[in-house]
Structure 1
Amino acid sequence: MPDNTSKSFSLRPLEKPDLSSITRWFQEVGDLALFDRHSRVPYDLATSERLWNMSDTPQNADDKCWFAITSQPTGVVGIIGLERISPINRDAVIALYVDHAIRRQGIGIRASALILDFAFRQLGLNRVTSYYRKDNASSRDLTSQAGFEVEGTMRQAWFSDGKFHDMIVVGLLAEHWNTRRDALAEELGEATMIAFGDGKSSGSKWPPHRSVTH
């Protein structure tokens, strides 16, 4: 059913000052282990700067792009990005994290949809992949709603909480996104919006039907 809350959010490139929020979020080891199968130790600011390529000696990172999800007056409320962008294979991996305080408000699915539009319609990708721990129901539901299809299970590939978990691999092709896109926009409704910049163009906001008012 459509979301009846009236809110607007923005996406912009991740910046160094945003890392203080990320560092605070990832002090929660359990949440960190759901977000990233490679990380178990809480981040400090220096680690965040290195992981997001914002240290004093940054490395070339053409294979990734990360965005901050922001709102007024709260500021940064989440991050979303594309990793392992391949111009040859025309694919990438999508990842998302939303602050505990604003989860279950439809922000994650809208941000994901906007990034999928960006991946397929601006970068010209043909495929987007995602991975999640099998017991992560939120990621399962979000990727399913966006149109991703389960492609396989990597058995016992994710160690956390003292045991091995299966990891689910899901994928979405550009042609399937184009089929799913309009129906998803209708399902979500327009009361809650997320946009790049002012959201005046149809390709820079989600849902894509009208302009954003802040």
Structure 2
Amino acid sequence: MPDNTSNSYSLRPLEKPDLTAITQWFQDVGDLALFDRNSRVPYDMATCEKLWNMTDTPQDQDDKCWFTITSEAAGVAGIVGLERISHVNRDAVIALFVDRAIRRQGLGIRASALVLDFGFRQLGLNRVTSYYRKDNAGSRDLTSQAGFEVEGTMRQAWFSGGKYHDMIVVGLLAENWNARRDALAHELGEETVIAFGDGMTSGSKWPPQRSAAL
């Protein structure tokens, strides 16, 4: 059933000032261990600048695009992005992080849906992949709701908390997204909207049925 929240959020390209919020989030080693398979040391600003290519001498990169989730009330509420974009294979990996204070309110699935729409309909992707630790119920539920299918298990591939966890691989094809898109929009309802810019153009808002007043 549609949720009962009533919020408007915007999605814009990640900017250097946003790294302050990211650095604060990833002082929590537990959250970091769920988001980043390869890092256990809390992020400092230099680490964030390097990871998101915002040093004083940035490198040209066309294999990733990251967005900041913002609202007037919450400020920087999360980040969502596409990594490892392949213009040959037409695929990418999606990643998401939402501030702990506003999780489980439907923001993550809407932000992911908008980026999936962007990837499939604007970048011409044919496939999007994601990975999550087996005990990460939030990522499991979100990817399942979006229409991803479990494609495999990498056994003991994620070390955290003194033990090895299995890593789940999920994938979503453009044809499956197109089949799932309208039903997902109906399920989520229109009480919460996330949009690029003013959300007035086709494919720039989620859910896609209405304009967002941001």
Q: TM-score, normalised by structure 1?
A: 0.99
Query: Structure 1: which amino acid aligns with 2:125?
Result: L
1:106 alignment counterpart: 106
Please give the secondary structure, in 1, of the residue aligned with 2:210. Answer: coil
User: Corresponding residue for 1:127?
Assistant: 127
* Residue type of the alignment partner of 2:110: R
Provide the C-alpha distance between the structure 1 equivalents of 2:141 and 2:213, rounded to a whole number of angstroms: 29
Amino acid at match of 1:28: D
**How many residue pairs end up in the alignment?**
214
**CA displacement 1:70-124 (0-9 Å, x = unmatched):** 0003211100000000000000000000000100110000000000000000000
Looking at structure 1, the residues matched to 74 and 119 of structure 2 have their Cα atoms a distance apart, in angstroms, of 27
1:165 corresponds in structure 2 to 165
Residue in 2 that maps onto 1:51: 51
Verify: 1:144 aligned to 2:144, yes or no. yes
1:174 maps to 174
Letter in 2 for 1:41: V
Give the whole-Å Cα distance in 1 for the aligned partners of 2:184 and 2:202.
Answer: 15
Percent identical among aligned pairs is 81
List per-residue Cα deviations over 1:46-78 (Å, max 9, x = no partner).
Answer: 110010000011112210000000000321110
Q: Give the Å deviation of 1:202.
A: 2.8
Query: How far apart in 2 are the matches of 1:201 and 1:179?
Result: 21
Cα distance in structure 1, aligned partners of 2:171 and 2:38: 20
Shift of 1:186: 0.2
Query: Are 1:18 and 2:18 an aligned pair?
Result: yes
Provide runs of 4+ in structure 1 moved above 3 Å: none
Matches within 5 A, 1:27-106: 27-106=27-106
Amino acid at match of 1:207: P
Query: What is the TM-score normalised by the length of structure 2?
Result: 0.99
Q: Which amino acid aligns with 1:191?
A: E
Equivalent-residue separation in structure 2 for 1:74 and 1:138 (angstroms) = 21
Query: Does the CA contact (< 8 Å) of 1:202 and 1:210 recur in 2?
Result: no
Unaligned runs of 5+ in 1: none
Q: How many Å separate the matches in 2 of 1:99 and 1:60?
A: 29
CA distance in 1, matches of 2:74, 2:136: 27
Report the AA paired with residue 171 of structure 1. G
SS in 2 for 1:31: helix
Stretches of structure 2 that go unaligned for 5 or more consecutive residues are none
2:16 maps to amino acid: K
* 1:111 partner letter: A
**1:6 match:** 6
SS at match of 2:114: helix
